[in-house]
Amino acid sequence: MNSDVAAPLLSRLQEIEDLGGAISLLTWDQSVKMPPGGAEARGRQLATLGRLRHERWLDPGLERDLAAAEREAADGAAADLLRVVRHDLERATRVPNDYVARSAAHAAASYEAWLDARRGGAVERVVGMLERTLDLSLEYAGFFPEVAHPADALIDVADEGATVASLRPLFGRLRDELVPRVAAWSAAPPAPPLPAGPFAVDEQLAAALELAQAFGYDVGRGRQDLTAHPFAIRFAHGDVRITTRAKVDDLTEVLFSTLHEAGHAMYEQGVDLRLEGTPLAEGASAGVHESQARLWENQVARSRAFWSFALPRLQHRFPALAAVDVEGAFRAVNRVQRSLIRTDADEVTYNLHVIVRFDLELELLEGRLAVRDLADAWAERYAADLGVAPTGAVDGWLQDVHWFAGTIGGSFQGYTLGNVLSAQFFAAAARELGDVEAQMAAGDFAPLRTWLTENVYRHGRSKPVDRLVRDATGGALDVEPYLAYLDRKFEGLAGAR
Amino acid sequence: MNSDVAAPLLSRLQEIEDLGGAISLLTWDQSVKMPPGGAEARGRQLATLGRLRHERWLDPGLERDLAAAEREAADGAAADLLRVVRHDLERATRVPNDYVARSAAHAAASYEAWLDARRGGAVERVVGMLERTLDLSLEYAGFFPEVAHPADALIDVADEGATVASLRPLFGRLRDELVPRVAAWSAAPPAPPLPAGPFAVDEQLAAALELAQAFGYDVGRGRQDLTAHPFAIRFAHGDVRITTRAKVDDLTEVLFSTLHEAGHAMYEQGVDLRLEGTPLAEGASAGVHESQARLWENQVARSRAFWSFALPRLQHRFPALAAVDVEGAFRAVNRVQRSLIRTDADEVTYNLHVIVRFDLELELLEGRLAVRDLADAWAERYAADLGVAPTGAVDGWLQDVHWFAGTIGGSFQGYTLGNVLSAQFFAAAARELGDVEAQMAAGDFAPLRTWLTENVYRHGRSKPVDRLVRDATGGALDVEPYLAYLDRKFEGLAGAR
């Protein structure tokens, strides 16, 4: 791509990115720092900046500059950029402005209704909202008449290239494999949890951040704050923040929240600086992003090797942990239990929560399930897959915000794709790095982080997910490494009990 | 103004305000929360959003909608809005885009050079930068050929309507009155300061915020954070934040920083909600804004009455204050001392620091002083007016950021206008409120705040400053009430010693 040709396009993309960075800061502040009185104006500011950004995508000049660059394009890096920009432009132009406005207004209203229902308000109102959400989701899918399944249009937003045709058999296989494993591994009484403290929150935050920094999270280009719902967010290559939460009586809350979000953040911090200012300076997909969070949270921070490194450091800060040994800590953070709440679930059970939601989304979109029957369908699936029954809507179908702040379809697949991919990436890294367990036990996370930077982080969104996975692991998306990882860890734990 | 005619204009103004709110948040975060790595992208994001906002002012549609509204305009409120919008549009169109870009780039470069020189780097580089700043300042003034003095164009940015012709005699008079007063009141050894603690910073922040809330600062629509240089900033009517700073051994640092910034913030929180989304939802001018900060900081928080309310509360938090009595505290926070640093100066001496700068700015702009002679001119004026000599550039002409992050001219007059106006507003309030001293001693700040809301806050930028001052105080801008206030307080203190 001739740089004279590319310059006007790059300048347009930079402007879109700058607006995106400002929008991200407005969002971060909304969750982290904003006083209650700021809510109304903040919603308006976000809407205005979102509209300005969307207008920039729709500017005929962008299409013209993109087409000019496409005519010139030759080499690999430029081709990646043009492919992604064309893809994003296509999506931006397919979705009409009035749909964006209607959908955003409905999302805000249904979020309010959801909050109200969770506080004991009318469930009937949420049902009505969700019916409208389903209509809007199908309307969105209709803007992409070429897709084989309406969910494909929605899945593509977060996990470009993934389809119902590819995910349904993968998730079906995983469900069939996991249901008996959860039953077996949760049969015996669980290992004792870590001591209940109390642990001073400031000290917890410092301890968790110290471990995140040991992994490689760069606080010179980030920071950590407390929020109700932890997240990672990027404003620019030099500013990728995490939030976390803490419980005074449960150290695992802050540890796994922080280390999970640090995984997301290290991915964004590791994107090649040359991709800055373009849509390539993001993660490859929701699934790949989640895989990087899960890899550090589970493959690393729930390993025996990690705890032999981390436990003495934590004991130094928290004398209440004095009597814990590495094996006890390892067992405490790897308890498998049937559960009702997705976000509290262990790493084995977690996927069953996701697959229930994925399947129900498809049934709703296919017209095989009515919104008013969702509560029953949910209870049925939880009984069949997890062996538990919700006590009500709040620990049942109203537990997640996703359907009440966006669309039905496309919200959940990334979580399980992330778990599956985390095992593939970790196994590939371990094959190349030699004794990764010994490295982790010694607190030397640099080899793993360097491997991830080389094979995942630095590419940002340059490679399509299937190419990224193949280049990094030597194979396609595959559940076997994940099942092998689970069996290796949890068979051992179950056998030893 | 017919509301159908006004609607398109108001919608444009709202968009400009939303961009302004986002810009303010980016700025706040830059000082308060941003990690060092975020600086480069933040500068770019600010430039992009600033440009987008400027483009909205230059949109021919705005001129068209404004002209249509002007043809319809009838009543008072609409006329105020149209007058201010026409004024701002005039200024936006007079200043070419390329100047804005060159000037912003130079401001960033000269700020870096200033930081470097303050850390011991080359002073020669800053001189060069400042010569260019002077050229740019004169270039700016040239866009307004109708002004009588080049500084008038620069002063108008912050203090609309104020001119060299009106300020020079005012400041000259003030200087003549203050120089002998500072000499007299600083002749005897100063009263002992408050005990040096140490005071826990968290407790200091809580104490200062509690007093700000007693004044009426609404933390449901604001928050307080720590920064190197305290400021107040508005994102919207519902979100006006303050920052402060603290020293472990000097409680007055956090108290007067917080209460000063709370004064700024209460002004913005008190603007009539109906002005939201327009350029009227700001303070009337830099001088009036400063007057509201100074009023709460000096007229209130440096009064004997305030300390009889505040001291027991502070003693409750800080046992180190146990031996202090109200008279001792009042004396400790009202020590008059000749000083080198403007921001550390007492309320009497402060104005002499400002007037030196104001006069030197005029000499530079008039070509009567060369930048390379500024250091000497500075030292001369400090010797003559304040009776002290800088030890070097850092406690001399390099002490303030203003000339190294903007223009020469227009930066300083607001501070002294604020001091003068604070006394006028307070005296007018006291005339109407009865025993305002007794109210303050009882911790009842509502009458004063209500008077200020009614006479100053709620009007935002609706009234020109001269009208605002006249309506509130019954007279024009006038140094006599300020001199009377100083004499009443400091003659008493000096006489009693």
Could you tell me if A75 and A3 are in contact, meaning their C-beta atoms sit under 8 angstroms apart?
Answer: no
Partners of A15 on chain B (C-beta within 8 Å) are 48
Partners of B276 on chain A (C-beta within 8 Å) are 41
Pairwise CB contact (< 8 Å): A39 & B220? no
Of A37, A52, A238, the CB nearest to B220: A37
Handedness of CA B307, B312, B315, B321 (dihedral sign): positive
- Tokens 């600010």 — which residue? B46
Q: Is B261 marked active-site? A: yes
Name the residue of chain B whose CA is nearest to A225's CA: B33
Name the residue of chain B whose CA is nearest to A47's CA: B18
Of A18, A34, A222, the CB nearest to B45: A18
Question: Does A4 score more than 70 pLDDT?
Answer: no
Pairwise CB contact (< 8 Å): A21 & B45? yes
Helical pair A413-433 and A480-496, crossing angle rounded to 10 deg: 80
- Which helix (H) or strand (E) segment is A78 a member of? helix A76-94
> Average pLDDT in the B149-166 region?
96
Read off the pLDDT of residues A168-220 as tens digits, 9 standing for 90 and up.
999 999 999 999 999 999 998 889 999 998 999 999 999 999 999 999 999 99
Of B19, B21, B239, the CB nearest to A35: B239
Read off the pLDDT of residues A118-158 as tens digits, 9 standing for 90 and up.
999 889 999 999 999 999 999 999 999 999 999 999 999 99
Pairwise CB contact (< 8 Å): A33 & B38? no
Nearest CA of chain B to the CA of A353: how many Å? 37
Partners of B39 on chain A (C-beta within 8 Å) are 238
Q: Which pLDDT score is estimated for B74? A: 65
Partners of A41 on chain B (C-beta within 8 Å) are 21, 235-239, 276
Of B15, B219, B237, the CB nearest to A41: B237
Partners of B15 on chain A (C-beta within 8 Å) are 48
Of B37, B48, B49, the CB nearest to A239: B37
**Best CA proximity match to B54, nearest among B7, B11, B95:** B95
Pairwise CB contact (< 8 Å): A236 & B21? no
Q: Which residues of B sit within 8 Å Cβ distance of A?
A: 14-15, 18-19, 21-22, 25-26, 29, 33-42, 44-45, 48-49, 52, 218-223, 235-239, 241, 276
Q: What is the ipTM of this complex?
A: 0.90
In the A/B pair of chains, how many CB contacts fall below 8 A?
Answer: 120
Q: What percent of chain A has pLDDT over 90?
A: 89
Read off the pLDDT of residues B384-408 as tens digits, 9 standing for 90 and up.
999 999 999 999 999 999 999 889 9
Could you tell me if A424 and A482 are in contact, meaning their C-beta atoms sit under 8 angstroms apart?
Answer: yes
- Which helix (H) or strand (E) segment is B239 a member of? strand B239-244
Three-state DSSP class for B233? Answer: strand
Partners of A235 on chain B (C-beta within 8 Å) are 38, 41-42, 45
Helical pair B164-185 and B413-433, crossing angle rounded to 10 deg: 80
Question: Does A441 score more than 90 pLDDT?
Answer: yes
Give CB contacts under 8 A, 24+ apart, made by A44-47: A44/B14, A44/B18, A45/B18, A45/B21, A45/B22, A45/B235, A45/B236, A47/A104
Give CB contacts under 8 A, 24+ apart, made by A147-156: A149/A362, A149/A365, A149/A366, A150/A365, A150/A366, A150/A409, A151/A361, A151/A362, A151/A365, A151/A409, A151/A410, A154/A407, A154/A408, A154/A409, A154/A410, A155/A409, A155/A410, A155/A413, A156/A91, A156/A410
Q: How far is CA A79 from the centre of its chain?
A: 27
Q: Which pLDDT score is estimated for B5? A: 65
Three-state DSSP class for A247? Answer: strand
Q: Which pLDDT score is estimated for B78? A: 86
Q: Which pLDDT score is estimated for A97? A: 83
Could you tell me if A455 and A463 are in contact, meaning their C-beta atoms sit under 8 angstroms apart?
Answer: no
Partners of A22 on chain B (C-beta within 8 Å) are 22, 25-26, 45, 49
**Opening angle at CA B11, ends B6 and B13, nearest 5:** 95
Pairwise CB contact (< 8 Å): B40 & A236? yes
Pairwise CB contact (< 8 Å): B235 & A35? no
Partners of B29 on chain A (C-beta within 8 Å) are 25, 29
Nearest CA of chain B to the CA of A254: how many Å? 21
Could you tell me if B296 and B101 are in contact, meaning their C-beta atoms sit under 8 angstroms apart?
Answer: no
In one-letter notation, the amino acid at residue B177 is E
Tell me phi and psi for residue B224, to 5 degrees: -120, 135
Pairwise CB contact (< 8 Å): B41 & A221? no
> Average pLDDT in the A342-358 region?
96
Nearest CA of chain B to the CA of A65: how many Å? 20
Q: Which residues of A sit within 8 Å Cβ distance of B?
A: 14-15, 18-19, 21-22, 25-26, 29, 33-42, 44-45, 48-49, 52, 218-223, 235-239, 241, 276
- Tokens 């209940």 — which residue? A196
Q: Which pLDDT score is estimated for A73? A: 65
Mean pLDDT (chain B) is 95
Q: For residue A324, what are its two tokens?
A: 């814990």
Rounded Cα gap, residues A349 and A353, in angstroms: 7
pTM equals 0.92
Rounded Cα gap, residues A111 and A104, in angstroms: 11
Q: What is the DSSP letter of A193?
A: P
Nearest CA of chain B to the CA of A85: how many Å? 20
Cross-strand bridge partners of residue B243: B225
Could you tell me if A273 and A237 are in contact, meaning their C-beta atoms sit under 8 angstroms apart?
Answer: yes
Three-state DSSP class for A162? Answer: coil
Q: For residue B297, what are its two tokens?
A: 């900081």
Q: Give B391: exposed, middle or buried? Use CB within 10 Å, 0-12, 13-18, 19+.
A: exposed
In one-letter notation, the amino acid at residue B304 is R
Q: For residue B158, what are its two tokens?
A: 């912050």
Pairwise CB contact (< 8 Å): B236 & A276? no
- Which helix (H) or strand (E) segment is A241 a member of? strand A239-244
Could you tell me if B235 and B25 are in contact, meaning their C-beta atoms sit under 8 angstroms apart?
Answer: yes
> Average pLDDT in the A349-353 region?
97
Pairwise CB contact (< 8 Å): B42 & A237? no
Rounded Cα gap, residues A481 and A489, in angstroms: 12
Tell me phi and psi for residue A120, to 5 degrees: 105, 5
Listing DSSP states for B299-323 in one string gives: IITTSHHHHHHHHHHHHHH-GGGTT
Question: Does A263 score more than 60 pLDDT?
Answer: yes
**Best CA proximity match to A383, nearest among A352, A411, A415:** A352
Determine which one of A261, A282, A347, A361 is catalytic: A261
State the best of A17, A48, A218 to mutate against chain B, taking most chain B CBs within 10 Å: A48
Read off the pLDDT of residues B172-226 as tens digits, 9 standing for 90 and up.
999 999 999 999 999 988 899 999 989 999 999 999 999 999 999 999 999 999 9
Rounded Cα gap, residues A337 and A188, in angstroms: 10
Q: Give B243: exposed, middle or buried? Use CB within 10 Å, 0-12, 13-18, 19+.
A: buried
Of B15, B26, B37, the CB nearest to A221: B37
Partners of B218 on chain A (C-beta within 8 Å) are 37
Pairwise CB contact (< 8 Å): B238 & A49? no
Read off the pLDDT of residues B302-349 as tens digits, 9 standing for 90 and up.
999 999 999 999 999 999 999 999 999 999 999 999 999 999 999 999
Q: Enter the CATH code of domain A122-497.
A: 1.10.1370.30
Pairwise CB contact (< 8 Å): B25 & A29? yes
Partners of A222 on chain B (C-beta within 8 Å) are 35, 37
Question: Does B435 score more than 80 pLDDT?
Answer: yes
Those residues with Cβ within 8 angstroms of residue A398's Cβ, 6 or more apart along the chain or in another chain: A114, A117, A118, A123, A126
Tell whether omega for the bond before A198 is within 30 degrees of 0, i.e. cis: yes
Pairwise CB contact (< 8 Å): B18 & A221? no
Could you tell me if A140 and A104 are in contact, meaning their C-beta atoms sit under 8 angstroms apart?
Answer: no
Handedness of CA B30, B35, B37, B38 (dihedral sign): negative
Nearest CA of chain B to the CA of A238: how many Å? 4
Q: Which pLDDT score is estimated for B494? A: 79
**Confidence grade of residue B100 (pLDDT, cut at 50, 70, 90):** confident
Q: Which pLDDT score is estimated for A6? A: 86
Q: Which pLDDT score is estimated for A494? A: 79
Tell whether omega for the bond before B198 is within 30 degrees of 0, i.e. cis: yes
Sheet containing strand B239-244, edge to edge, reads B224-226, B239-244, B232-236
Pairwise CB contact (< 8 Å): A235 & B37? no
Sheet containing strand A232-236, edge to edge, reads A224-226, A239-244, A232-236
Three-state DSSP class for B222? Answer: coil
Question: Does B231 score more than 70 pLDDT?
Answer: yes
